[in-house]
Structure 1
Amino acid sequence: MATVEVTFTPLPAHVRTARLVATAVARRSGVDESLLDEVRLAVGEACSRAVEAHRRHCPAEPVRIEMTDQDQRFVVTVSDHAPTAPAPATAPATDGGIGYEAIGHDGGSAFPAGFGLAVISGLAEDVRVLSTSSGVSVRMSWPSAAAAS
């Protein structure tokens, strides 16, 4: 499968469309039907987190989603361009090594910093978070039957 790239303005209404597109691409990639709800929910959570960060820090910048097959996996990367704040020096290491507390623009909601990323890590088998001064990328993947055939 070729890479599918989607960008959208940071409006909550577009998160639903992003979830639907990701689910359709996952199905076409051969992700098992039993995992499609996890794909939909994880992509929705990652996009919601990115939309909130953009609305606070850079509302004119689009949120970016990239979907592809790599090494028998369906891989989705949701990227934002919101600046991140450094983690407090006293932040406890409660994130399983993924770095939730280091992502400074996840706070400000009713949930603790990193909550959305914790939900995502429960829905995807492999989650990687890359946080830089220019934004955060959340990479998630699931097994892809189409890549194996």
Structure 2
Amino acid sequence: MATVELLFSALPEHVRTARLVAAAVARRAGVDEAVLDEVRLAVGEACSRAVGLHRSVGITTPVRVRLTEDEKKFSIEVGDDAPHTAVAEAVAGSSGTSAMDREEASEAEDDMGLAVISGLVDDVEVSAGESGGVIRMSWPTVPASVLP
């Protein structure tokens, strides 16, 4: 089993790099070429979500991406350190529209990103709590003996 770990500062400009690394590792792991765009898009959504969560509550720890290849599947975990109860409080504390409107807008954005990921990835799991959250995604790999 091979694993690649990527840590990056919670800045939007690093999401592209995470997408490119994920696609390259997925290709090497034997993920079907036809789904590499889905891998790129799903990783981009998950990383953008993690960056947004970190930035919304002022967390400076890096976003974590773990790419794991085993005999039958390729897995990606994108982790954030944002306490998910604090995210709603930070959104509610921003100025402008009412706290309820801001919280609903933030949740709608979050739900939209998760919906996009769910539409791209058959095997996805989302967990979130006080110490942060993780999105786990996986794709089947083609055995090396089948590759041309």
TM value normalised by structure 1 = 0.79
Q: Which amino acid aligns with 1:108?
A: S
Q: Which amino acid aligns with 1:31?
A: V
5+ residue gaps in structure 2? Answer: 87-102
Q: Which amino acid aligns with 2:130?
A: S
The 3 A distance-change label for structure 1 pair 35 and 130 is same
Match of 1:142 in 2: 139
Does the alignment pair 1:60 with 2:60? yes
Distance (Å, rounded) in 2 between the aligned partners of 1:147 and 1:124: 22
Does the alignment pair 1:130 with 2:118? no
Tell me the CA shift for residue 131 of structure 1: 1.0
Larger Rg: 2
Q: CA RMSD in A?
A: 2.5
- Number of matched pairs: 131
Give yes or no for contact 1:29–1:146 (8 Å, CA) kept in 2: no
The sequence identity of aligned pairs, in percent, is 55
Distance (Å, rounded) in 2 between the aligned partners of 1:142 and 1:3: 15
Tell me the CA shift for residue 71 of structure 1: 5.5
The 3 A distance-change label for structure 1 pair 106 and 124 is farther
Q: Which amino acid aligns with 2:106?
A: G
Give yes or no for contact 1:107–1:114 (8 Å, CA) kept in 2: no
Larger % of helix: which?
2
**Aligned with 2:46: secondary structure?**
helix
Tell me the CA shift for residue 147 of structure 1: 7.2
Give yes or no for contact 1:71–1:147 (8 Å, CA) kept in 2: no
Give yes or no for contact 2:59–2:82 (8 Å, CA) kept in 1: no
**Runs of 4+ displaced beyond 4 Å:** none
TM value normalised by structure 2 = 0.80
Distance (Å, rounded) in 2 between the aligned partners of 1:15 and 1:148: 33
Q: Which amino acid aligns with 2:7?
A: T
Distance (Å, rounded) in 2 between the aligned partners of 1:146 and 1:131: 33
1:4-57: per-residue Cα shift (whole Å, max 9, x none)? 000000000000000000000000000000000000000000000000000111
Q: 1:108 aligns with which of 102, 106, 109?
A: 106
